[in-house]
């Protein structure tokens, strides 16, 4: 690549360009550099929550060009492009893949101080050896360079994961999914494992009765149950949990505005189910009760299987109804919500713990104003039975950037034990997003290094190195019960 591409503003010198993302990127002290390079950098990756398509892992997909692997489905980039005034035609519309890439390249120089600027150049450098800052004038050259590499076997979906030293990835799967792709992949010899994760959001999404009934037909067919009652629903979910467990699943995940708690049964759950069967809408309070009862039952099932349960809380979704009707959900029109969290969260976890049915739990917060709430909540239910049983999850979505990660880790350090933290995950739909683990590890090492330099921590390299290695890899490896499944025993 030519580091002197035309069109770069004169204020950006060649020296600055070649020094950007140096080996000591984000490492602001000698201690941070030692911790990262000696104890974090080369550890494998356990990515226990993402949205990678299992079929693309199983087929070891080869991508035609950078737009298909890098831009499609990435609403972080889409939001930035819309803000810059780029038309939807060039984002999710009918423009060619090359035109979409050029539109993104035009956007990149304007993303300074947004994490997209870091992520974009980390991904170009780590996967494709591109040292230049991407911009409008060198975009076509970089596009063709990357596209050429994408045709090589080591740039297939799985080749890209191996480049990043990925050991485990967990997909996100609806209870009605057959998991054929995961089973097929598990039978192949490969350097990493793909496990399913149980995401039952649709099983309690009762806001739209007609859509819900359509889903129940799909779920019932997968579970071999005709769902005519609420009890049938729970039987179907239990059947699917057993099915997932036999295929290597050891964790669940839930996306909710907040958890709900009722200290007594305000409604008859079967009567609510009957209303849904007759396509009658429930009140807001009835919807919350239905979610509470169903989630409580699910969590008890997880506990029986020894699963980890995850709760992603606080997103305000589908805020732009015009764009929702045009593009559908998950297209970049969700934001941080301001839902009340503490009381119901405590009540829900206590309802499980009171009967010793609370599984290992990871709580992800999207509103940074609730960091202290979540960091103190986990301490309420750590009972000494398991190291770090209840986790304050890594900075999520809008918080998976430098400030957000530092805030989450500082809060956890002050109010819990960061030494027990299970670290980073991508939560991504892109096979090019795994340098985010590097980004996290550098930020983590810099935090510890800064404290040592300030005289706030002792410089005990061996011990601090162990803590860093645990957070980056070993805590997660010990927290999850991942192991290859013998599919020959299945019918």
Residue 188: predicted pLDDT: 87
Torsion sign, CA atoms 123, 129, 130, 131: positive
Residue 311: predicted pLDDT: 98
Superfamily of domain 62-155: uronate isomerase, domain 2, chain A (1.10.2020.10)
Beta-carbon count within 10 A of 460 CB: 11
* Fold match between domain 62-155 and domain 164-489: no
pLDDT tens for 335-393 read 999 999 999 999 999 999 999 999 999 999 999 999 999 999 999 999 999 999 999 99
Contact assessment for residue 458 and residue 221, using Cβ atoms and an 8 Å cutoff: no
Q: Tell me the pLDDT of the chain averaged across its residues.
A: 94
Residue among 164, 145, 144, 167 at smallest CA distance from 154:
164
For 71-110, give one letter per residue: b (16+ CB within 10 A) or e: bebbbbbbbbbbeeebebebbbeebebbebbbbbbbbbbe
Q: Average the pLDDT over 88-110 and give the result.
A: 97
pLDDT tens for 290-338 read 999 999 999 999 999 999 999 999 999 999 999 989 999 988 899 999 9
Residue among 400, 463, 474, 391 at smallest CA distance from 437:
400
Domain 164-489 sits in CATH at: 3.20.20.140
Query: What burial class does residue 456 get, using C-beta atoms within 10 Å of its C-beta: 0-12 exposed, 13-18 middle, 19+ buried?
Result: exposed
pLDDT of 25 over the 90 cut: yes
Bridge partners (DSSP) listed for residue 169: 47, 194
Query: What burial class does residue 402 get, using C-beta atoms within 10 Å of its C-beta: 0-12 exposed, 13-18 middle, 19+ buried?
Result: middle
pLDDT of 4 over the 90 cut: no
Beta-carbon count within 10 A of 369 CB: 11
% of the chain exceeding 70 in pLDDT: 95
Q: How confident is the model at residue 78 (pLDDT cuts 50, 70, 90)?
A: very high
Q: How confident is the model at residue 489 (pLDDT cuts 50, 70, 90)?
A: low
Residue 485: predicted pLDDT: 67
pLDDT tens for 390-427 read 999 999 999 999 999 999 999 999 999 999 999 999 99
pTM of the model: 0.94
pLDDT of 213 over the 80 cut: yes
Q: Average the pLDDT over 470-475 and give the result.
A: 98
pLDDT tens for 132-155 read 999 999 999 999 999 999 999 999
Domain layout of the chain by residue ranges: 62-155, 164-489
Q: Average the pLDDT over 116-131 and give the result.
A: 96
CA 46 to chain centroid: 12
d(CA 372, CA 99): 44
Q: What is the largest CA-CA distance in the chain?
A: 71
Angle between helices 75-83 and 97-107 (to 10 degrees): 70
Residue 483: predicted pLDDT: 78
pLDDT of 124 over the 60 cut: yes
pLDDT of 12 over the 50 cut: no
């Amino acid at each position: 690549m030519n580091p002197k591409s035309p069109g770069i503003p004169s204020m950006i010198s060649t020296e600055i360009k070649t020094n950007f993302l140096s080996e000591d990127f984000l490492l602001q002290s000698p201690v941070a550099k030692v911790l990262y390079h000696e104890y974090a950098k080369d550890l494998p990756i356990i990515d226990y929550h993402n949205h990678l398509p299992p079929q693309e892992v199983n087929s070891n997909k080869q991508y035609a060009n950078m737009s298909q692997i890098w831009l499609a489905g990435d609403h972080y980039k889409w939001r930035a492009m819309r803000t810059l005034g780029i038309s939807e035609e060039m984002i999710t519309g009918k423009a060619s893949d090359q035109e979409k890439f050029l539109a993104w390249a035009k956007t990149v120089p304007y993303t300074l101080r947004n994490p997209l600027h870091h992520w974009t150049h980390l991904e170009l450098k780590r996967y494709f050896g591109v040292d230049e800052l991407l911009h409008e004038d060198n975009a076509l050259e970089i596009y063709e360079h990357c596209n050429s590499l994408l045709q090589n076997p080591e740039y297939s979906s799985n080749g890209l994961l191996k480049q990043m030293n990925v050991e485990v990835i967990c997909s996100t799967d609806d209870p009605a999914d057959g998991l054929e792709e995961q089973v097929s992949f598990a039978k192949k010899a490969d350097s990493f494992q793909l496990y399913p994760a149980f995401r039952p959001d649709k099983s309690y999404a009762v806001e739209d009765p007609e859509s819900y009934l359509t889903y129940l037909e799909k779920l019932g067919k997968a579970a071999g149950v005709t769902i005519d009652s609420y009890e049938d629903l729970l039987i179907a979910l239990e059947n699917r949990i057993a099915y997932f467990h036999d295929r290597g699943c050891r964790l669940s995940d839930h996306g909710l505005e907040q958890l709900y708690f009722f200290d007594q049964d305000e409604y008859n759950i079967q009567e609510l189910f009957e209303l849904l069967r007759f396509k009658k809408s429930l009140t807001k309070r009835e919807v919350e009760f239905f979610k509470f009862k169903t989630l409580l039952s699910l969590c008890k099932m997880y506990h029986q299987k020894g699963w980890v349960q995850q709760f992603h809380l606080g997103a305000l979704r589908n805020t732009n109804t015009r764009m929702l009707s045009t593009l559908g959900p998950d297209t970049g029109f969700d934001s941080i919500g301001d839902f009340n969290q503490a009381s119901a969260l405590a009540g829900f976890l206590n309802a499980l713990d009171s009967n010793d049915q609370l599984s290992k739990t990871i709580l992800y917060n999207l509103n940074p104003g609730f960091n202290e709430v979540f960091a103190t909540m986990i301490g309420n239910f750590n009972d000494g039975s398991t190291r770090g049983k209840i986790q304050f999850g890594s900075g999520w979505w809008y918080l998976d950037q430098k400030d957000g990660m530092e805030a989450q880790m500082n809060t956890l350090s002050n109010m819990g034990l960061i030494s027990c933290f299970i670290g980073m995950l991508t939560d991504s739909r892109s096979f090019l997003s795994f340098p985010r683990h590097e980004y996290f590890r550098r930020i983590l090492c810099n935090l510890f290094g800064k404290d040592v330099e300030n005289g706030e921590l002792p410089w005990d390299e061996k011990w601090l190195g162990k803590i860093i290695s645990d957070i980056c890899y070993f805590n997660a490896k010990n927290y999850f019960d991942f192991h290859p499944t013998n599919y020959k025993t299945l019918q």
